[in-house]
Structure 1
C-alpha cells in the first residue's frame, strides 16, 4: 500500500486529464456510485483515472438519485453490483444502523486522525463538503450581499433563485429574518418557528425562480434570470472559471453538509474499495477534486499551501467552514415527512 501511494504521488504530477470512456463491467471490478453526472465526471478525472493508472484496478461508475429505499433495494439484492456509494448524513446513519454497510477498518484507509472529525463515523469516511452559498453576479451587484439583502428586492431589484424544496430554505428564511445561525434549529423545533420561516418565504415568493438541479442554479445566474441565488458553491466557482464570469460566493451563513463514502455490506471488492479510499484520502489527490469540481474533501492538510484564489473558494477552508451552518440531518430525518407536504402545498397557492 505504501509503495503504491508513493507511486501515486509521482503519477499525479504527470497524469493527463483524460476523457471519460465507457467500459464493460466484470464481477471483479470496483463499482462506485455518486449522485449526478457532473460529479461523476469530476470523480473520474480527479480520482478514478489516476487510481487505475497506479494500481491497475478497474473501476466502474454509476449514479443514483439517493434515498434509503433505493439503497436498501441494492444492498439486499442477490446480484448487487454496488461497492462504494456516496451517502448523505441521514442515509449513512440509517443504513449503518440497519447493517447495510461495512464497518470501516480505519487502519486500512489511513486512520481516523487523517480526516477532519466531521468526516469520521463507524460506516463512512467524509468524501466531500457540499456548501450551499448565496451566489451573485458581481458585474450587476458590486457589493457582497447577505441573506437579508437577498430578501430586499426594493434595494436590489431582480429575481432570486432558490432550490425547489423545503430542506435548506427554512434555514435560509430564518437567517434572513435575523435568527442567528446557532439558533436556527432551536427555532425550527417549534411550530411558531416554522410559521415564521414560511411567513418570511411569503415575502419573497413572487420573485423566486426555483431550480431543481445543481447545474440549473448556475445556469439561471449566468443567463441573468436571477440577480442572486442559493447554489452549491462548487457549481458557481467552476461555472465562473469556465465561462470567465464574475460570480461571487458568500460563505457567511451558508449551509453545509458532509457526504461520505460507504462500502455496502458483503462487497466482493472490499479490499479494492479500501485501497480506493486510502488513495483518494491523500490531500494531494483531494486537491485534484477541488480543482475539478470546486468541492472539498475532508483530509487534514488539504487546504495547506493552496493558492489564495483556490483557498478563498474552498468549502473546507476553516474560515469558510466556520462561517457556515451545518445542516442538521437529525432534524430533517424527524421532520421532513411533515414539512415537505406543507412546503408543496405552500408552493401551490
Structure 2
C-alpha cells in the first residue's frame, strides 16, 4: 500500500488545483455509510463538509445503513458489485467482516497521520482500539436513559438495577433488538461483578441467568432497531426508560431540550470507526480521506458536535465547547470521571466468538 504523507499545504494545494480543474474533471462520488441522526450530522460537520471544501472534486454521499452494514457488505461481495466506499462499523462486526475478506486490512502507520508531536498513529490511538481492518473514531457508550417527567422528583432512578425494578419504577422499557449490552446489563443487575460478566456469559448457566433476568421485565419491553427510535419513544412517553447511544441522548436532552436523564451506571463502553470495503472503486481516494479525517484535530472536532470521546490520545486536550450550545463537552463524555464510575467495557472478542449464536438465541427469545 502506498504511504500517504498529506500535509495541510498539500491539501490546500490540492484544493486549489481542484478548483482550477473543476470544469475539466467530473467529481468523484464517495458513498459513506453511517448510523444517521446526530452522529452522522457530527461527521458531516467535522469531516465531510470541510473535506469537500478543501477538495471540490470530491462529493460525499451519506447512506444511513450502518445498522445492517455486515449484511450489506456480504450481499455486495456475493453480487460482485461493491457500491459502498467507506463504512462506519462496530469492532465486533468489523472483525467478522475482516475474517471473511469483506473489508481491507489497514497498515495504520502507513495510512494514518502521525500525532502533532510525531507519535505514530499505532501508538496515538487509544490502547486496544485499532483492529487489523478497523480505524476507530470515537469512544461512545450505550446507556440507560429515562424521561424524568415520568417519575416523582423524590424517586428518580439512577442504577441499572432500577431499570429492572418495575415495582418502584413502573413503565415500559425500550431496548435494542440485539443481545449485546442487554445480556451484560441483565447479569450486572442480577448481582454479577463487572469483571466476571463475560466469564459468566461463556457458560450455559450464565446465559440462562441473563435471559431469566430479562424475563422478569419482558412484558414491559419494547424493542428498537434504529438509533433514532429510542429517544423518540422516550420523548413521546411511550416508554419510561430506553437504552440508547449516549450521543443521541445528549442531543435529545441538550439540543432538543427533552427532559431526559442518563444513567451512567453500567454504561457499555465501545469503539466505533471506519472500515474500507474490499473491491471498492475508489480505494485510493478513500485512503486520502481517511488520512485527513482521522488526524488529531479532526477527531477532536467531532466532539464539538456530539458527546463522544475522540479515539486518539493527542485529541483529548483539544476537546472544548459544543459548537452551537457553547457548553463544556467534558462532563458529557462517557470517559469523564463523574460518569466513568462503573463502566462495562464491551468485549469484542467475546461477541466475535459468540455473537452469531447469541443473536439467534436472542431473536428467538424476542418472539416467544
TM-score tier after normalising by the smaller chain length:
0.7 to 0.9
Q: How far off its partner does 1:198 sit?
A: 1.5
Partner of 1:328: 347
Q: Is 2:256 the partner of 1:255?
A: no
Scaled by the length of structure 1, the TM-score of the pair is 0.83
Q: Which runs of 5+ in 2 are unaligned?
A: 1-5, 14-25, 114-120, 322-326
SS of 1:167's partner is coil
Q: Which runs of 5+ in 1 are unaligned?
A: 9-25
SS of 1:86's partner is strand
CA deviations over 1:59-113 (Å, ceiling 9, x no partner): 2333324354431333465553322222222332233234333332323311222
In 2, the alpha carbon distance for the partners of 1:7 and 1:246 equals 44
Partner of 1:272: 285
Q: Is 2:46 the partner of 1:49?
A: no
Q: How far off its partner does 1:6 sit?
A: 8.4
Partner of 1:240: 253
Contact kept? 1:118, 1:258, Cα under 8 Å: no
In 1, the alpha carbon distance for the partners of 2:110 and 2:342 equals 32
In 2, the alpha carbon distance for the partners of 1:78 and 1:209 equals 38
Structure 1 residues 153-162 or 333-342, which shifts more?
A: 333-342
Partner of 1:60: 61
CA deviations over 1:116-154 (Å, ceiling 9, x no partner): 123212222102333111112344465461111111222
In 1, the alpha carbon distance for the partners of 2:162 and 2:130 equals 36
Contact kept? 1:112, 1:120, Cα under 8 Å: yes
Aligned-CA RMSD value? 3.0
Structure 1 residues 246-255 or 305-314, which shifts more?
A: 305-314
Contact kept? 2:142, 2:268, Cα under 8 Å: yes
In 1, the alpha carbon distance for the partners of 2:335 and 2:79 equals 36
Question: Which residues of 2 match residues 7-46 of structure 1 at below 5 A?
Answer: 28-36=28-36, 39-46=39-46
Q: How far off its partner does 1:317 sit?
A: 4.4
Q: Is 2:143 the partner of 1:129?
A: no
Q: Against the structure 1 CA distance between its residues 348 and 6, is the aligned structure 2 distance closer, same or farther, given a 3 Å change threshold?
A: closer
Contact kept? 2:73, 2:277, Cα under 8 Å: no
Contact kept? 1:5, 1:279, Cα under 8 Å: no
Q: Against the structure 1 CA distance between its residues 339 and 319, is the aligned structure 2 distance closer, same or farther, given a 3 Å change threshold?
A: same
In 2, the alpha carbon distance for the partners of 1:160 and 1:259 equals 25
Partner of 2:20: none
Q: Which among 3, 7, 23 is matched to residue 2 of structure 1? A: 7
Contact kept? 2:38, 2:247, Cα under 8 Å: no
Q: Against the structure 1 CA distance between its residues 342 and 96, is the aligned structure 2 distance closer, same or farther, given a 3 Å change threshold?
A: closer
Contact kept? 2:91, 2:131, Cα under 8 Å: no
Partner of 1:200: 213
Partner of 1:109: 112
SS of 1:185's partner is helix
Structure 1 residues 251-260 or 77-86, which shifts more?
A: 77-86
SS of 1:303's partner is helix
Contact kept? 1:133, 1:230, Cα under 8 Å: yes
How many residue pairs are counted as aligned between the two chains? 333
Structure 1 residues 287-296 or 174-183, which shifts more?
A: 287-296
In 2, the alpha carbon distance for the partners of 1:93 and 1:202 equals 31
Q: Which among 98, 120, 124 is matched to residue 130 of structure 2? A: 120
Partner of 2:233: 220
Q: Against the structure 1 CA distance between its residues 165 and 82, is the aligned structure 2 distance closer, same or farther, given a 3 Å change threshold?
A: closer
Q: Is 2:200 the partner of 1:187?
A: yes
Contact kept? 1:136, 1:221, Cα under 8 Å: yes
In 2, the alpha carbon distance for the partners of 1:182 and 1:149 equals 21
Q: Against the structure 1 CA distance between its residues 61 and 116, is the aligned structure 2 distance closer, same or farther, given a 3 Å change threshold?
A: same
In 2, the alpha carbon distance for the partners of 1:2 and 1:162 equals 44
Q: Against the structure 1 CA distance between its residues 322 and 264, is the aligned structure 2 distance closer, same or farther, given a 3 Å change threshold?
A: farther
SS of 1:245's partner is coil
Q: Against the structure 1 CA distance between its residues 215 and 181, is the aligned structure 2 distance closer, same or farther, given a 3 Å change threshold?
A: same
In 1, the alpha carbon distance for the partners of 2:279 and 2:352 equals 26
Partner of 1:15: none
